[in-house]
Structure 1
């Protein structure tokens, strides 16, 4: 009886090592802007979360300050918010201010790169800051959705 158990155990262990296919899926994307109009984040900062770090001494949130690279060969570049700019933690929210090239964004489009810069690649600052507190404790997150537009090229 002792000898029958060992071959059975080896047979069972062998099935664990059977060839099982493993499948992996990797999402790969690329965005190649047109040479006539683009607004891209310098060094790809927009692909990573941006933190409004909390200063415990002043009880304020430090703004996110980055740069965009923009170009339009057809005129000025306008920007607008697609919805409320805020971060949330459960039922609590912190409203945000978004400024591009010194222009405070709203739901109505505003010029952020003037027509005088038409055809030039320009570096423009973007700042996302929290409106004044006090802030409820929590872990906050959210998305800031913006749209950039320039006049269409007449064909």
Structure 2
């Protein structure tokens, strides 16, 4: 199997298990961007425009994701105390619970995989994936990844 296909299928398998785990814990995931939004808003409250900038997407794209996450109870809009016209986005209790559930899943997934394959294999996989991420493109430009 081609290396890229293998990486893609491994990621898809991981995401499928994560979504199953989230559903079992009462969380609904409709978009791939939820995780990025949860992690970004866990650091501090932002406006939709600021969130879009941080995620490398348009303000309209961020607003669409946020609207969905507000509808499902993961994010709350609150008045900005410094600018009454603006709304700050905060994680709701449900959103914080989802983020904690995701973080627990990540830790358990790696622990289980380590038990099945051995610590040295996981360390090697981490090293290889880190190398892929940190290696500039052939043109010498850095890869534009969303911040986590």
TM-score bracket, shorter-length normalisation:
under 0.3
User: Between Structure 1 and Structure 2, which shows a larger proportion of helix residues?
Assistant: 2
Q: Which has the higher contact order (CA 8 A, sep 6+)?
A: 1
User: Between Structure 1 and Structure 2, which shows a larger proportion of strand residues?
Assistant: 1
What TM-score do the two structures reach when normalised by structure 2? 0.23
